[in-house]
Amino acid sequence: MVCSSARFAGTAVLVALSFTYLTAGAQQQAPATSAQDSAAPAQSAPASPAATAPVFPAPDPVDFTASTPTKEVVNTFMQVNLGWDEANMFQVQAIQKTQVEGISKVTVLVGDRTGKQQPYRFAFFTTADGKHMIVGERIVAFGEHPFADYRSILQQRATGPYRGAASKDLELVEFADFQCPHCKAAQPNMEKLLADFPKARIVFQNDPIGAIHPQATIAAAYGECVTKQGGSTAFFQFSAAVFDGQDGLNTADGATLTLNSAVTKAGLDPAKIAACAATPETKAAVDASVRLASDVNIASVPALLINGRQVPANTPYDTLKKIIEYQAKLDGVTQ
């Protein structure tokens, strides 16, 4: 796992497929199964200002040799993922058998109706169970309802501090590391979501990356204890103070001062929180949150799961808001 910037140029597949984290300005936003796939656009979009929607080549029937998944399933999957933006367009180009029984290769052309983004070829493999796809080194959810299983897992196990509604009809679960600078950068988004989605339940789950952030785990432990002793209100006071003073986590001594100060701002006793943070029970609670992140396929923080649909929590806010509104509509949640 890495603490990753989630900024991107072409939003379609990054947000659409809920698992790819890309750098700003990257054009090959579709995860590719080969260098050829990522390097060869389906058709170059006309240059601005005369940009128009790309015209995809007609699919060749000989490229549809696999019985599963069906074209209808692939279309539904792509619509679920891309439908949040009316400018997104796609065409299923091939569904082919492979040398492995039950494994099919799917190729989809993805474009932008405004013609501002260069279209590209998105290729992936689907598994025999019809519920998973393989893209590069990742195995991710596939099907007509790709987020349903993750949504169910989170409804049962995302027990971290929360703000907003008690109902889990629209549940936004943030996975973050207190020492991750991109997680700090995502916090203004989280505050805006609280204001714009009053019917949402917004949950915080610890996902410290100890390998690169040595003080993240103890910060997570403090957070668990603040929640235990002061509830969700105290936790979010604590978390705001820790993110504000994040530079203090760069050393062990600085972390102690920063965390104790944040505890005080949350109205709790630093000595009691420190004692709680050192217990096996607290370690187990942090470990359980990290396991939850793994079980819902978190590969990078900050991550936000919207009823199971994963997007970077530091996605540009207007885009993030559109995706939440779209997912709520898919799930029949009234705003």
Instruction: Report residue 182 as tokens.
Output: 């991109």
The answer, yes or no, to whether residue 294 has pLDDT greater than 70, is yes
Give the position of tokens 């199971």: 308
Query: Is 3.40.30.10 the CATH number for 150-317?
Result: yes
**What string of H, E and C letters represents the secondary structure of 188-225?**
HHHHHHHHHCCCCEEEEEECCCCCCCCCHHHHHHHHHH
The pLDDT assigned to 25 comes to 25
Domain ranges of the chain: 2-145, 150-317
Peptide bond into 59 cis (omega under 30): no
* Residue 116 pLDDT class (50, 70, 90 cuts): confident
**Model confidence at 158: pLDDT above 70:** yes
Residue of 71 and 137 predicted with greater confidence: 71
Per-residue pLDDT at 203: 98
Give the Cα separation of 80 and 309 in Å (integer). 10
Mapped onto helix, strand or coil, the DSSP state of residue 3 is: strand
Sign of dihedral through CA atoms 240, 246, 248, 252?
Answer: positive
Predicted pLDDT at 30: 33
Q: Nearest 10 degrees: CA dihedral of 275, 281, 287, 288?
A: -130
In whole angstroms, give the CA distance from residue 147 to residue 14: 15
Q: Considering the chain, what is the average pLDDT of its residues? A: 88
For 317-331, the pLDDT digits (tens) are 999 999 999 999 999
Identify the DSSP state of 274: H
Long-range contacts, stretch 163-167, CB < 8 angstroms, 24+ apart: 163/194, 163/202, 163/232, 163/236, 164/194, 164/197, 164/198, 164/199, 164/200, 164/201, 164/202, 165/198, 165/199, 165/200, 165/201, 166/201, 167/199, 167/201
pLDDT of 56 strictly over 50:
yes
Q: What is the pTM of this model?
A: 0.87
Name the token pair of 39.
């390097």
